Amino acid sequence: MSLFVNITLDGLANGMIFAALALALVLIFRATRIVNFAQGAMGMITTFIASSLLGQGVGYWWAFVAVLTIGFVLGALVERVLVRPLQGKSELNPVIVSIGLLVVLEGIAGAIYGNASRGFPAAFSQSGLTVGHTKIAFSHFDVFILVAVFALMVAMLLLFRFTTLGLRMRASAFAGEISRLLGVRVGMFLTLGWALAGVAGSLAGLLVAPTSSFGPYFMDLVLVYAFTAAVVGGLESPVGALIGGLITGLCVSYVGGYLGSGLQPLGALALLMVALMARPEGIFARPPARKV
């Protein structure tokens, strides 16, 4: 029983991280109809920058803020330099370019920092909390993960629902031509979508690094889990990303706990295939009105 509880708690914490990266994928997919497969690698690079900053003696929270800012700039830069030239071409082209970016970023990180996995500090203690007299597999750091991702989600929700900026972003994503006619600077808001996704991706990197073998490839699996989460949630909806993240986190955690950690990606693949077979549009997406 305690095994089951611990696995579940672990799955929830992981699920929140997947949700953060899934949110990044959703933000970009909503804005530009592209799945950014380099999102994980971008988070990996910013986490390495954080690691360097911490090595220079910068305080954790200063590094935290700096890295989220760098993630913002990196996201905007990628959109402007790499994605903008592909506008209006086949939908395979951006997928291939994002894979190219993934490879380049991993290569750069490997060339500079080496392949060996290194430690990354957590913001809070990683030893389990004690409930009553039993120690559970849920630490202060896991609480921080829950709070941080939840805060990010709420901030995005408030931005999109209650501000003019968010309204313009939604308008640019859903009806670019009409918004342009109404005087919205569509290009700028698409870039902003990528930039916000960069923030979410950087946050995911900072949250994953302490609990994984932090190296150039540490975000690969997180990215595919986040992709699974985003698809389960519908690729369109931030709330869907959260629910999808938790479902994926629990699924991966149960597979890892009962069948062995090597089979976790296979579990995610099974979940993804079931989700795509059962509801290709995802749980939270409205069915498309027409497909032509």
Partner 1 sequence: MTQVVPPSRSLAGGPWWRRIRLPTQPLARHLVLALGGSVVLYLVTSALSPYNDYEVGEIALFVVALAGLSLLTGVNGQISLGHGAFMAVGAYTTALLMTHTHVNFLLELLASIAAAALLGLLIGIPAARLKGPYLAGMTLLLALALPPIADKWSSTFGGDQGLTTTVPAAPGSLNPEKWLAWIQIVGALITLVLLANLLRSRYGRSFRAVRDDEIAASLAGIHVARTKVTAFVISAACAGLAGAFLGLSTGVVNTGEFPLTLSIQLLAAMVLGGTGSLMGMWWGAILLVYLPQWSTSLSGHFSLGSGASAYLATIIFGLVLIVVMIAAPTGIQGGLRWTWRRLSSIGSGYSGGQGSG
Q: Which spans of this chain sit near partner 1 (rule: CB under 8 A)?
A: 29, 34-35, 37, 82, 85-86, 89-93, 95-97, 99-108, 110-112, 114-115, 217, 220-221, 224, 227-228, 231, 260, 262-263, 265-266, 268-269, 272-273, 276-277, 280, 291-292
Compute the distance between CA of residue 101 and CA of residue 198 in angstroms, rounded to an integer.
14
Paired strand residues for 134: 131
- The least distance separating partner 1 from the CB of residue 30, rounded to whole angstroms, comes to 13
- The least distance separating partner 1 from the CB of residue 93, rounded to whole angstroms, comes to 5
Considering only CA atoms, which of 85, 35, 86, 45 is closest in space to residue 67? 45
Is 108 or 129 the residue whose CB approaches partner 1 more closely?
108
Is 133 or 290 the residue whose CB approaches partner 1 more closely?
290
Which amino acid, residue 175?
A
- Tokens 């954080």: give the residue: 50
- The least distance separating partner 1 from the CB of residue 223, rounded to whole angstroms, comes to 8
- The least distance separating partner 1 from the CB of residue 123, rounded to whole angstroms, comes to 28
Is 133 or 291 the residue whose CB approaches partner 1 more closely?
291
Could you tell me which residues come within 8 angstroms of residue 44 by beta carbon, excluding any fewer than 6 positions away?
Answer: 105, 106, 109, 205, 216, 217, 218, 219
Paired strand residues for 139: 128
Q: DSSP class of residue 288?
A: P
Is 158 or 266 the residue whose CB approaches partner 1 more closely?
266
- The least distance separating partner 1 from the CB of residue 68, rounded to whole angstroms, comes to 25
Is 153 or 226 the residue whose CB approaches partner 1 more closely?
226
- Tokens 């953060």: give the residue: 20
Is 93 or 212 the residue whose CB approaches partner 1 more closely?
93
Considering only CA atoms, which of 99, 95, 74 is closest in space to residue 199? 74
Give the orientation angle of helix 140-162 with respect to helix 238-259, to 10 degrees: 160
Is 24 or 35 the residue whose CB approaches partner 1 more closely?
35
- The least distance separating partner 1 from the CB of residue 272, rounded to whole angstroms, comes to 6
Query: Residue 113, class by beta-carbon neighbours within 10 Å (0-12 exposed, 13-18 middle, 19+ buried)?
Result: middle
- State the SS3 of 120-159: CCCCCCCCEEEECCEEEEEEHHHHHHHHHHHHHHHHHHHH
- The least distance separating partner 1 from the CB of residue 104, rounded to whole angstroms, comes to 3
